[in-house]
Amino acid sequence: MSGVRANVAAREALVARARARMAGLAGELGALAGRLGRPMAFMEVCGTHTVNACRSGVHSLIPESVSLVSGPGCPVCVTAQRYIDALVGLGRRPGLIITTYGDMLRVAGAGGSLELARSEGADVRVVTSTREALEVARRNPDRDVVFAAVGFETTAPATASAVLTADREGVENFSVLAAHKLVVPAMTTLLENPDVRIDGFLCPGHVSVVIGSEVYRPVVERYGKPCVVAGFEAVQIMEGIVHLARQAVAGEARLENLYPEAVTPGGNPVAARLIDEVFVPGAAAWRALGEMPASGLDLRKRYQHLDAFHRFGIQLGDDQEPPGCRCAEVITGRCNPLDCMLFGRVCTPIYPVGPCMVSSEGSCQAYFRYRRHEGRRRAPSGAGSVT
Amino acid sequence: MCLALPARIQERTGEVARVLLGDAVMTVSLVMTPDAGVGDWVLVHAGFAMQEVSDQDARETWMLVDEYDVLTPDRPLEGFQ
């Protein structure tokens, strides 16, 4: 990368173009907001969009009448507490090794978090890839190694690949506790809720690399909501918002892909085949949204021997949200993090109460890191239910 | 969790490649991008290459990732607070 870093002039020129483009877009958004004459609210489905919009200052360029509301796009945040409880319970079994992405470590269930379990002696190891998890299993053939498979369609192919490899190589001590989620069912469920009032979706960039942009077509055609796929740079996020606003002003609902350099209409067919070979869509429990049919991925019967639910006879219990925590409302666009009474007082990234403060992609952590000085919000805007 | 970054393939051995991601050298799986070869850029997420991207797009992404002050309080856009 040193070659790229050395090219200061090219970078300066690019940043200057980005700033000019940003100013133009901000001006257009202001004009569009004035023309519409009513507040509008767009949901950024993806947690990474939430974080980058906060970090880059995009919020500061948006008129008061335009709201960006968070959606159910942070995998850790939407994972039901009953799954966390099962995972932590599994982690406490003597001799068993839990492998997990780092984000899951500090999410607390009724019986504490994986981090707490680790401090009490559980063998919990953070991995950055399912390949690492599989390697842990190969190196510890006499111990059970469980991978906490959480995430949307972006991460599901990696889990599928590990399952196929474990099956092929006969890594019998490896299994996955799968809680993968599908993005589109969450979006349509939200639209069925009359409390959630939004004018369009900023659709996730890298989930769409796998599933393609066409999957959002039903959201546009059946629910009449604009869907715009956007990348993660500040300018790309702003472009997405402006395109959504243009549609809102024109009274249109169209599917637009503003990230064609990475996202194709049909997605990555190899990744889709991997998912299909290992998983089958099944009912899944989501935090805040409850149990939704065909919104998650279950391991196929063919791979039942690698399914930790099956291997350890795990039955999921009930969810008990922490008292006062409004994460469930935050991830459904019904509460701004700044409006939660726990936010910044008893709930901080160091001592998080709810998952949205734990995860680096969670709305509450993004607001804490970049927007907590804004204080509590003003009067209700009227459009989005976030006030 | 769903962020992918462009990395350049330095060496390929079967389905596994050594890539340069920013300043980090790491090993990733090419199972989802079977046609990617040495010198190609791929979007990497959680140890897997998900998609090939063009040289220009990859370089621009890194330039903007490196450049945190596209918008900062020190450099506000004219006309906006």
Residues in chain A: 387
CB spacing of A154 vs B66 below 8 angstroms: no
CATH label, A76-183+267-311, candidates 3.40.718.10, 3.20.20.70, 3.40.50.11740, 1.10.10.10: 3.40.50.11740
Q: Which of A1, A232, A235 sits opposite B20 (nearest CB)?
A: A1
Q: At residue A126, what are phi and psi to the nearest 5 degrees?
A: -85, 130
Closest chain B residue to A270, measured at CA: B32
Domain ranges (residues) in chain A: 21-70+198-251, 76-183+267-311, 327-374
pTM of the model: 0.89
Residues A54, A47: Cα–Cα separation, whole Å: 11
Is A11 in contact with B66 (CB distance < 8 Å)?
Answer: yes
Domains of chain B: 8-66 (2.30.30.140)
B42, B7 contact by CB (below 8 A)? yes
CB pairs A-B closer than 8 Å: 152
**Are A259 and A237 spatial neighbours (Cβ–Cβ below 8 Å)?**
no
Which residues from chain B sit within 8 angstroms of residue A130, using beta carbons? Answer: 46-47
Per-residue pLDDT for B68 more than 70?
A: no
Q: How far is A18 from chain B (nearest CA, A)?
A: 7
Q: Do A21-70+198-251 and A76-183+267-311 show the same overall fold? A: yes
Give residue B73's pLDDT: 47
Nearest CA in chain A to B19: A1
User: A44, A50, A61, A273: which to substitute to probe chain B, counting the most B Cβ within 10 Å?
Assistant: A61
Residue of chain B whose Cα is closest to the Cα of A61: B80
Closest Cα to residue A175, out of A312, A360, A356, A323?
A312
In 10 A of CB B74, how many CB atoms?
6
Residues in chain B: 81
State the SS3 of A235-294.
HHHHHHHHHHHHHHHHCCCCEEECCCCCCCCCCCHHHHHHHHHHEEEEEEEECCCEEEEE
CB burial of A312-333 (b: ≥16 within 10 Å; e: otherwise) equals: bebeeeebebbeebbbbbbbbb
* Paired tokens of A152: 């949307």
Q: Output the CA–CA distances (angstroms, integers) from residue B30 to A48, B41, B42, B45, in the order listed.
A: 24, 12, 9, 11
Residue B66: pLDDT band (50, 70, 90) is low
pLDDT of residue A7: 66
- Rounded (10°) CA dihedral A107, B43, A259, A225: -30
Q: What CATH number has the domain spanning A21-70+198-251?
A: 3.40.50.11750
- Longest CA–CA span in chain A (Å) reads 67
Chain A hits for B66, CB-CB cut-off 8 Å, are 4-5, 11
Task: Please give the C-alpha separations between residue A210 and each of A48, A60, A140, B4, B32, in angstroms, as whole numbers.
Answer: 16, 31, 32, 12, 10
Contact between A300 and A280 under an 8 Å Cβ cutoff? The reply is yes
Across the interface, of A129, A151, A359, the residue whose CB is closest to B47 is A129
* Average pLDDT along chain A, 387 residues, taken 10 residues at a time: 61 84 94 93 91 86 91 89 95 97 90 94 97 98 98 96 98 97 93 89 94 96 96 92 97 97 96 97 90 94 97 90 89 90 93 89 91 62 36
Asked if A261 lies within 8 A of B64 by C-beta distance, the reply is no
Supply the pLDDT for residue A195: 84
